[in-house]
Structure 1
């Protein structure tokens, strides 16, 4: 099996199926297709599949032109038979959210495996990329697939390689970010390394669990440090120092410090979710991951702090939040992406609505959003003078801050969550800046 797969990789005759065509799966499919591999993408969304085959990208980070450039090597389908028949490698890139109680939800992984099971044959190779707790591949994935009667590592290959996608980051991408791989045995790890080395450099670790833990620890590190600076930002407001200037100053130290920055919370598919997978798993062995859970609590409370800053600002101009018109600039969870998952600005939006504010948003990456059972469209920037309060949550590239600030009138409240306004841009408003 292994020699056959290695030969197919070398000759670029291996057929690769990517399961899940979101922020992780679609870029991965394109990367392999660019290297002349035949790639089939599998997704349960009919609309998504049709759009991809019509060369219309659903991701702001993937252009229609990029899809067109690989159309001869990459097609999408929602048919399991078309996706998994005569396929050599199946790479699973489905979401791994958490429940309301922050427990892992592996339903997407299980569903994908059930779809694959009837088509599994000897010599296939399965790779899980979805972020999850250490042990998932061995405890969940392999038992489901071995219902076929075949043995993992002998009849078919198994590996884990955590996704490392940072949507909107033009500096780092799949081709210049190393992939970590671990296999059920060393031979499987070697085949996974061989496959991924076609698109980037590869770091092989000694086990599936070590590969799974690598991704979790990367995100725990970020979550804890972001929570730390979020807490320091609130402290800075009370003690009268500028957290942004302090971080910049501390960053001049050439060792022992890595800058992280405060904000309205954390969003996306990783930082708000992944650390809870590890804390949940820790409880299975009787451990309480206090740092992880405390970091989650701090980050989840940041939208409330932004709401309190908004209330305080409106009070300064003798206005109540109830009835005030509020405009949120940037609803996506980060700059220049059309991803709303776990966006802290959604929480700010919802809390202000409940308090009676009339809330609108501007975000060219988010055409519409459903709030309070009402479908709302992005509000043009030209209407900014109609609002009592403007909250800057995300700095998209198309924002001209000089123009935006020139539209502020004397009693408008501006809540700057990300330190983008300077003194000259804030002379004509009541400015409330996070961390100052």
Structure 2
């Protein structure tokens, strides 16, 4: 590997298995390593995103290509990456951690492995966290998540030192300012989710209520923000696309009601009220100060994920929104969710940890789950993922790791430490 310039950022690879996780992974790489141009890999599978879906993430997709898990392990052997971001579902992360631990066995000159969650963590907290245990950095998107994540690890006698506070990497955009009278219509955006709610009756109900709101307020624009086109897949399976349900509405669709795709950040630029069941889009909206409503029409229930917003002050029903109610978020809740602070400054602890890791030999990857601690669980996870590295890749990976370690320790770690102090 040629010597890097003292001003070069670390080389970062991002492996993602869906459009939303690519969005999180790419933004995480750039927040963690300012100036980085992450090399992206899309894990081939059910949720591999299309070019259109990648474009909507707003991350730039020129350096992204599709790959298998085994192919990715081989690719690491050819590359010169100092940082690896695993933006995948928990089982995939666990399988890769075990494969990488085997590949890098006895070698302390390996890339730093980073993982975390795309947004709101409202289900499978313990399961998901333990599947991610073993990475060098497990990112927590808020002070609230930091406490929860550490409590889980410490509660099972697992090392919690990898848990590091940051903020959602895609927070940003201009603070909300109501439009001047006459400049544009008041815009209500209903941010839908692919799997919440799941039943046809519930999804039809929410669509009908959005259309009813448009009829009640003909001076407003009501937009249903869609996640994917029929046939496309995302992080969660969408079996009943809102597009299909809207087609059945036919002429009942009011003129000021529409369906829309697009990058969520750009949609929020002209949003005056964000409505959702439990989408992470609510956090983006709240960070900007946009009025945000978390629907209670179908109840406040764990399967819906809206229970996560308990204490936020954001709950409202369509009836209340029809009557003009605008929820007022609780400032303490916002602060605990990392939505009141400067997101750039919130990445200081993560950059500091990365710099320290790059500046010293790394210990072996040691996931909590082993064939001793979880003999009835781990083998099934590993069997579902093709992470067998082809012959010769172990040697290639170790050679690359030695070269990247020298560059990281001598040139890059001091740069990241300086960034963390800005």
- Structure-1-length-normalised TM-score: 0.33
Higher Rg = 1
The normalised TM-score by structure 2 is: 0.33
Query: Whose RCO is larger (CA < 8 A, sep 6+)?
Result: 2
